Amino acid sequence: MARAPRMMADLIIAWLERFELDELKNEKQAALTDSILLKINRRAHQACRRNRRDQALRDGQLALNQAIRWPVRSTDQDTDAENGTNYGAALTHFYAGALSLACDDMRAALGHFRLSEGMFGDLEKHRAESIAFAGTALAQAGLKKWSPALEAYRQSIALIDQLINETAPLNSSLKDLRRQIVHTIGVILEWYEQEPDSHTSQESPA
């Protein structure tokens, strides 16, 4: 577990890509994603996995800059395009949160995951929203903020349970996601509880 932040980043991206992006393709909704932003974000993640930190940070910042500057298209006939741009921005903040996790910058990760939570929620993309809440829980655990970490975890599981109830019996992948989040959050909470309090040594407890 010596590389817990990197492990968390890899897990959170794997959850997004398997349980959200792959599901969108299966549902023929891939047009909702902004392909350019997604490509840049994936490139940043791959650079991070190869220990190319500078390249990862450059690509991550490029994606964020594009997400901020990209105009939100809104016409009565083009609602999918509008959602696509917003969805791309939500993905970008999610990937930025994962990159921050990998760099052990828990405060930045928390900020990005919270932004993606709200964006995915507004778009009613509750699979992605539940994974973003799991990311928030991991970042809060990294900061040793136990109560907020457990609350974010609870919200993540509540969203998944709601989706399972709504989509039964076609819910095997959601049940798998639920199992993985439950296991991982437990391991991470236990890990950070045993680690020296490096993130909050000058702060009052939550």
CATH number, domain with residue 68: 1.25.40.10
Q: Of the given ranges (3-17, 32-46, 158-172), which has the lowest mean pLDDT?
A: 32-46
- H/E element, 46: helix 35-49
For the chain, how many structural domains are there in total? 1
201 in a domain, yes or no?
no
206 in a domain, yes or no?
no
Whole-number pLDDT of residue 168: 66
Structural domain including 157 reads 4-194
Model confidence pLDDT, tens digit, residues 41-51:
888 888 887 78
178 in a domain, yes or no?
yes
31 in a domain, yes or no?
yes
199 in a domain, yes or no?
no
Model confidence pLDDT, tens digit, residues 75-102:
333 344 444 558 888 999 999 999 999 9
C-alpha distance from residue 54 to each of 36, 44, 105, 152, 177 (Å): 20, 10, 15, 30, 32
203 in a domain, yes or no?
no
Whole-number Å distance between alpha carbons of 195 and 177: 27
Q: Taking a C-beta distance cutoff of 8 angstroms, is the pair 31, 84 a contact?
A: yes
21 in a domain, yes or no?
yes
175 in a domain, yes or no?
yes
Token pair listed for 10? 């890899």
HEC per residue, 47-86: HHHCCCHHHHHHHHHHHHHHHHHCCCCCCCCCHHHHHHHH
Token pair listed for 5? 């932040």
